[in-house]
Amino acid sequence: MKTSNVKIYVVLLSVGFMLLGYFLTKTPALINNNQALITNAKSLNDSALLNANSKIDSPIPESLSGLDHGVVLRVDKNGNLIIDRHIRDLFEFYLSAMGEESLDIILKRIQSQFYAQLSGDAIFQAKSLLKNYVDYRIELVTVNEGTELIDVNGLSQVALLKIQKNDIAQLRNKYFNSETYQAFFEKEDQMDEYMLSQLDIVNNPLLTKEQKQQEIEALQNTLPEEEQLLRKKVSQHSDISAQVKEMRSAGDSDEKVFQHRAQLLGESAAQNLAILDKKRDQWKNRLQHYAIERNAILASGLSDVDAKMAISDLIENNFSAREGLRVKALDSSL
């Protein structure tokens, strides 16, 4: 078996142990599994459908500040809303701020886009679609809870994933017609089925490693051509990344790394990767400097409250607001 094929096989084995968490969190529920919260969220969602466009007094949440969703809503020649995957992107753009602001404000933000871009029946069609999507997202909590309960029966990960996918399919059938399903979820489901088929192959004890690799390659050939090309490109970049890592470990110069990349990817791509390397090195150096100063604060004898305030000031003075969020997320591992 070729070295690259062996690496692919090993990666697939690792994927098998991670996919359960992936499916459970890929489209998370909007709220915790609390009946009062579920009832309140659905009530807010019901009310939003009937509300007219209203002014939003709250400032845009920090996580969305400076960002543009870039979604253009379209209508057909009869003035009806054209449903495509970008509408779901618009919903998720604003729903990603849950926790920073309340659901009713988020719904108003999304609906303000309807009123700004649409007119007539298309506005109500968009609002109805939003209501169904949010109700669907709220009810996902029941799917997650159901899978957790089933887990105690000792079923395999693949079996659990298939049960969950079936439960999600039923939930989608409840809220969406075939047109919306195709626009919002069909491609995602095709890839999920592909991954589950991979897991079936990887976990099949009757197949040798070589047979598993052959079946995986055959399965990859069933993907749409665009997806096959994308996977080949990702695999190529992964191989080149591993080669560059080995070159740097051996002490090769930046120029030699550049020439290696340029030979395989072209000079333009090699130049972009060199710039990215420089940015990553700068970021790594900034994090290391922060870690040294943070450790000095922790070792200074300050009270817990004063130390936290000093570290907060350190982050604020050395990083932008968005960078500060990354630093705080990484802090425990620095």
What was the pLDDT predicted at 13? Answer: 41
Return the number of other C-beta atoms located less than 10 Å from residue 260's C-beta: 16
Question: Tens digit of pLDDT for each residue in 43-69?
Answer: 888 888 888 877 888 899 999 999 999
**Residue 136: CB partners within 8 Å, gap ≥ 6?**
171, 172, 174, 175, 176
* Cα 147 from Cα 164, distance rounded (Å): 6
What was the pLDDT predicted at 1? Answer: 41
Query: 0.85 cut: is pTM over it?
Result: no
What was the pLDDT predicted at 25? Answer: 47
Decide if 129 contacts 180 (C-beta within 8 A). Answer: yes
For the chain, list residues with pLDDT below 70: 1-29, 32-33, 144-155, 333-334
Question: Tens digit of pLDDT for each residue in 71-126?
Answer: 999 999 999 999 999 999 999 999 999 889 999 999 999 999 999 999 999 999 99
